[in-house]
């Protein structure tokens, strides 16, 4: 049996986005959510529809490796 709804945390993980991004998508009515008492339930069907509505990549996305240049910390002088 297929799951009908997920918690906001699980729905965000399902789309690989932050919970805040998911909240914005719900507020913009791009993803459907319902209330069941205090719980918020996010429709799996609307998550799939949102994902399918995203544009497809026609060429591979470049992979960026942001390596920060880190300088070693200066040693502190100790008091004796």
Over range 27-51, report the average pLDDT: 96
| Helices 8-15 and 19-27, packing angle to 10 deg | 100
Enter the tokens of residue 17.
């986005």
Whether residue 63 lies inside any domain: the answer is no
Over range 28-54, report the average pLDDT: 96
Number of domains the chain contains: 1
Give residue 16's domain range: 5-53
Whether residue 70 lies inside any domain: the answer is no
Pick from 3, 2, 8: nearest CA to 42: 8
Whether residue 16 lies inside any domain: the answer is yes
Whether residue 67 lies inside any domain: the answer is no
pTM > 0.85: yes or no? no
Whether residue 30 lies inside any domain: the answer is yes
Instruction: Report whether pLDDT(31) > 90.
Output: yes
Whether residue 79 lies inside any domain: the answer is no
Residue 29 sits in a domain of what CATH number?
1.10.10
**In this structure, are residues 39 and 7 in contact, taking their beta carbons and an 8 Å threshold?**
yes
| Whole-number Å distance between alpha carbons of 45 and 24 | 18
């Amino acid at each position: 049996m297929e799951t009908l709804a997920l918690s906001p945390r699980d729905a965000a993980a399902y789309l690989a986005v932050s919970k805040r991004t998911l909240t914005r998508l719900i507020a913009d009515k791009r993803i459907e959510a319902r209330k069941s008492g205090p719980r918020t339930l996010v429709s799996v069907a609307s998550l799939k529809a949102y994902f399918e509505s995203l544009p497809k990549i026609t060429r591979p996305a470049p992979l960026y490796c942001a390596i920060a240049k880190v300088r070693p910390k200066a040693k502190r002088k100790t008091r004796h």
